[in-house]
Structures are given as structure tokens and as C-alpha cells.
Amino acid sequence: MPKLPQKKYYRQRAHSNPIADHNFDYPICPSEMDWNALYPTHWQEGSDKKVEFADIGCGYGGLLVSLAQLFPETLMLGMEIRVKVSDFVIDRIKGLREEKKDRPGGYQNIACIRTNAMKYLPNYFEKGQLSKMFFLFPDPHFKRAKHKWRIINSSLLAEYAYVLRQGGLVYTVTDVKDLHEWMVHHFTKHPLFVHVKEDELHSGNRPPFHPALTPASLMSLEAEMAEDRVLDHLFDSSEEGQKVSRNSGDKFLAVFRRVCGPTQGNGTTE
């Protein structure tokens, strides 16, 4: 019987250069991806079930494990660039599937792959496929010369908007105020995202008007965020989040909704 892996055998430095060349296998396009290998009890030939949640830089898989039983019928994928860390998550999921068969979903709905999401995200996901994306405690890359390595930047936001369906949500959490402000700045400047303010997540206050949100969708957004079960698992499910809590550090949350783009000349929107 597989046992749950011990994290001490999978330790690896926290920082990785996402721009450097890595030896990755990746599908030419989403239709070429073998999802059956990751979700054997869900993915069957001819099935239209697809991954809906993506945890980018999933670390040791804490969020995936936390959400697995909340959304037992939703397929979730963790994407991690570090070899040993991704190996740990893969082994952890394998052990949980064997030991916790009686749990809702049996952890059959979560999986992890080693890849570089900054380079290959569209190789895995179709346009508008995802409903939620998570960026929990991403590497801040403090030096100005390395800001181009940050997982949130102007060029990558176009890819995130591409794979995220209209109305989908992006969740970001960090303990670095400068990075938090950087992410909020870049998301709010992008025409396909609107910032859902933190006080609106918890108080039920109506979000500010955005030209891509109708009054009806504003009410829907308010109701959805008021009961969003994901929020309770964002701060302390990951190892980094637990470390920040032990050190009594600050945590900064930002949530962004994918909205329709401006009307184009042919009458269509993005």
C-alpha cells in the first residue's frame, strides 16, 4: 500500500528561473494531452469532462488537497516547475487515493504535473476552459532586473484571459506588499479583468461599476463571492501560507474576474 510521502525527502530551493530552458515534455495542443493518465476514474474516451481549476505554482499541493473534497466532481490541476516538489505532490496524491478511498471524490479529481506555466499554459488548456486560477505566494523576484520573471506580468495576463472563461476568477495571495500592489496594478490595467475588492468579498458590498459588467451580473458577482467556499482555504492551505502564519506575517488577497472585452468592429467581443 502506498504511504504518504515525507516532505523532508523532497526539499528543494524555493527559487527557480522560469526563463531558463528546462527539459519538459508538453502537448502540442490541449487535444493531444493524455488526461486519462492523471484522472483515470474521471477521464474516459469520449468524455467531455475537463480541468476547471488550475493552481499555478502549486508548491506542495496543500490547496489542491484542501479543495478536493469541496469540489469532488471538479477536475483540478497543479502546475509546478520544481522537480522534487512536483514529485512530492504526485506521490502525495497517489497515497491519498489509496488511503482515503472513502472520502468524497477519493482525491481522484486532483493531479499535478511538472511544467513551466509561464511558457506552456495554452498547450494544456483550451480557450475559456478554466473557471478558477490560483497564484498563491508566487516568487516575488525582488530585484528589479528579475521583475520580468514574475508570474503576473502584462504579456502573461493575455494568456490567462485566454484560458479563463468569462466570469471566471483569478485568486492571488502574497505576504509581500510590493508584489501584491504589482499584481493589482497589472490586473486592473488589463481590459479583460476587473478587480473584486477584498472588502466586497467579506461584507457583501456591491462591487464598483465596470463597463463590462451589467447590473444583473453585478448582483450575481456579489452573491457568488459572498458564499465563495474557496476563500477560507487560500491563506493557510499551502506550506508558505502556514509559514507566514507562524511568523505572524501579513497576507494580501486579491481576486479578479474575467470579463468581456470591448466590442470589436465586427460586433464581437473577446
Active site residues: 139
Return the C-alpha torsion angle 217, 219, 221, 222, nearest 10. Answer: 170
Q: 116 labelled as ligand-binding?
A: yes
Q: 226 labelled as ligand-binding?
A: no
Q: 223 labelled as ligand-binding?
A: no
Q: 99 labelled as ligand-binding?
A: no
Q: Side by side, which strands form the sheet with 110-114?
A: 110-114, 75-80, 51-56, 130-136, 164-174, 252-258, 193-196
What single-letter amino acid sits at 179? L
Cβ-based neighbours of 9, under 8 Å, separated by 6 or more: none
Q: 57 labelled as ligand-binding?
A: yes
Return the C-alpha torsion angle 174, 178, 179, 181, nearest 10. Answer: 100
Q: 204 labelled as ligand-binding?
A: no
Helices (H), the chain: 62-68, 83-99, 117-124, 154-163, 177-189, 198-203, 215-226, 239-246
SS3 label, residue 229: coil
Q: 80 labelled as ligand-binding?
A: yes
Q: Using alpha carbons only, what angle is made at residue 124 by residues 171 and 193, rounded to the nearest 5 degrees?
A: 35
* Binding positions for S-adenosyl-L-methionine: 57, 80-81, 116-117, 136, 238-240
* Binding positions: 57, 80-81, 116-117, 136, 238-240
